[in-house]
Structure 1
Amino acid sequence: MGNFMDMKHVASLAFGLAMAFAAPAYAESVNVGVTTTGVPFTFVDTATQEPTGAMVDLAKAITADIGDEAEFKVVAFSALIPALSSGKIDLISAGMFATDERKKVVDFSTPVYSYGDAMFVAADDATNYTLDDLKGETVGAQIGTTFADKLQALGTFGEVKLYDSIADIMRDVKLGRIKAGFGDKPIVAYQISEKPQLGVRLVEGYEPMQKGDVAVAVSKENPAFLEKVNGAIAKLKESGELDKIFAKYGL
């Protein structure tokens, strides 16, 4: 009788172990850094108060493909790379260009989207300026962006004021505090189309200072993770899902 009970106990343990190994592993959490000032790439859904946008959807799709879950951390744009480098976040998914300077500090995925900068002026200003036309004027750009660096490098403006968000630049352009503002074209165009009350317009015929590739970024200390991310992006491109994600937000 004792042996029978022992065998039953062994069988029960074996079944339990088999079930434990067969059970799906819990998804790991990937801390994704986003900035909420980059409509339609990354912004806050006013209904849910949660981060949303094309790059948020992309991060969800990437992490789902590699069997993880995305946990979003709202970080100022200029603080995204420091947050990644210090290990506070695992992935940057924002409207960020993969520039040579940034590649020295972080590793970028394969490109997911390409665009250039736009110039905007007050809605009641009918002149379609060139950069040369603004010599000696005060203009604005978002801190930490490649556009801000390029404007300052030109050395032709009276001042290049740096702002935390495009919305702040638009406010000062509307109020006449600065002559023109510069920002990511899809972000500026989306905000103007959604909110005419912003009182600014895109300058027609403006030639971007540069066009760049948007990509997600990971730490240089994590090449295996980058490989997984690139694998997921390749699948999303092949299936057409990547195009659908950006088309959903008018990109």
Structure 2
Amino acid sequence: MQFKNFVVCACAVACGLAASIGEARDLLRVGTEPTFAPFEFLNTKTKEYTGFDMDLIRAVGDKAGYDVEILNMGFDALVPAVMTGTIDVIAAGVSITPERQKRVDFTTPYYTSGLSMLIQKKNVEKFKTFDDLKNTNLAVQIGTTGAEKAKTIAGAKVSSFNTTSEAFMDLMSGNSDAVVLDRPVLAYYLKNQERAAKVLTIPPYIADAESFGFAVKKGNTELLQKLNKAYADLKASGEVDKIYSKWFQE
């Protein structure tokens, strides 16, 4: 009788292990550069990566059946990392551009943004459009479309920084005349930096509307389809709109 009970228990444990193994989920390694608030940044209190992109990729990854791991790396290292398989996905406010599409595949666009500038309030009448930034000193983040735009401004001297915060500090110190970057990032910075908001402002000017997408390795059709399907389901259920409303007031 005792042996029979032992056999039954052993079978139950074995079945339980098999079930748990069957339910194990693959890991989705997501690379980001967490200095791009409100899309991705480090919450200094919880020590967790947070922001619109972080909430969305976690929801999409979970819906697609993955456990999501967020990895911190420099923005200019993200595309090489996904190309070599070091990470599976890039979630870092990455604009979908023809040049990038040659190197990676993008998911369905999840956000439409545009470029603007952050300037000192004393220069609000002086710098109204990008044309007004000719022959000025500009601060940008390495690898962004803002950096590419700055290079096209005639006579501008462009200083490139690893993070947006470094670019903002360069403007605050007076070394540069403007920071060229995505408008929502500039607006979020001013909203959360009281000292900066007293000195800096954003002109009501937006250029080069662009869409953000998550990026995967070129040719990784299986993962791309899973992420797109998960995003479509979350969009249909209203979950994407909830995440959007959490981070944006527009």
The 8 Å contact of residues 119 and 202 in structure 2, kept in 1 or not, is answered as yes
Larger Rg: 1
1:1-251 alignment runs, 5 A limit = 18-23=15-20, 24-127=22-125, 128-154=127-153, 156-198=154-196, 199-204=199-204, 206-208=205-207, 210-250=208-248
The 8 Å contact of residues 118 and 185 in structure 1, kept in 2 or not, is answered as yes
1:11–1:48 distance in 2 versus 1, CA, 3 Å = closer
Q: TM-score scaled to structure 1, two decimals? A: 0.89
Deviations 1:76-107 (A, max 9, x none): 11111111112111111111111111111111
1:211–1:9 distance in 2 versus 1, CA, 3 Å = same
Measured after TM superposition, the shift of residue 124 of structure 1 is 3.3
Q: TM-score scaled to structure 2, two decimals? A: 0.89
Measured after TM superposition, the shift of residue 147 of structure 1 is 2.1
* Sequence identity percentage: 33
The 8 Å contact of residues 84 and 90 in structure 1, kept in 2 or not, is answered as yes
Partner secondary structure for residue 141 of structure 1: strand
The 8 Å contact of residues 121 and 173 in structure 1, kept in 2 or not, is answered as yes
For the residues of structure 2 that align with 1:196 and 1:207, how far apart are their CA atoms? 23
For the residues of structure 1 that align with 2:214 and 2:52, how far apart are their CA atoms? 12
The 8 Å contact of residues 141 and 160 in structure 2, kept in 1 or not, is answered as yes
Partner secondary structure for residue 248 of structure 1: helix
For the residues of structure 2 that align with 1:31 and 1:8, how far apart are their CA atoms? 44
For the residues of structure 2 that align with 1:207 and 1:237, how far apart are their CA atoms? 27
For the residues of structure 1 that align with 2:226 and 2:218, how far apart are their CA atoms? 14
Measured after TM superposition, the shift of residue 60 of structure 1 is 0.9
1:15–1:134 distance in 2 versus 1, CA, 3 Å = closer
Gaps of 5+ in 1: none
Deviations 1:190-212 (A, max 9, x none): 110111212321123x231x111
Deviations 1:46-100 (A, max 9, x none): 1111111111111111111122111110011111111111211111111111111
Deviations 1:131-167 (A, max 9, x none): 222221111221101221122134x133122122222
The 8 Å contact of residues 139 and 157 in structure 1, kept in 2 or not, is answered as no
The 8 Å contact of residues 150 and 180 in structure 2, kept in 1 or not, is answered as no
* Backbone CA RMSD of aligned residues: 2.2
Amino acid at match of 2:203: V
Moved more, 21-30 or 84-93: 21-30
For the residues of structure 1 that align with 2:152 and 2:178, how far apart are their CA atoms? 17
Amino acid at match of 1:29: L
Measured after TM superposition, the shift of residue 129 of structure 1 is 2.3
For the residues of structure 2 that align with 1:74 and 1:239, how far apart are their CA atoms? 30
The 8 Å contact of residues 166 and 188 in structure 1, kept in 2 or not, is answered as no
Partner secondary structure for residue 46 of structure 2: coil
Measured after TM superposition, the shift of residue 8 of structure 1 is 8.5
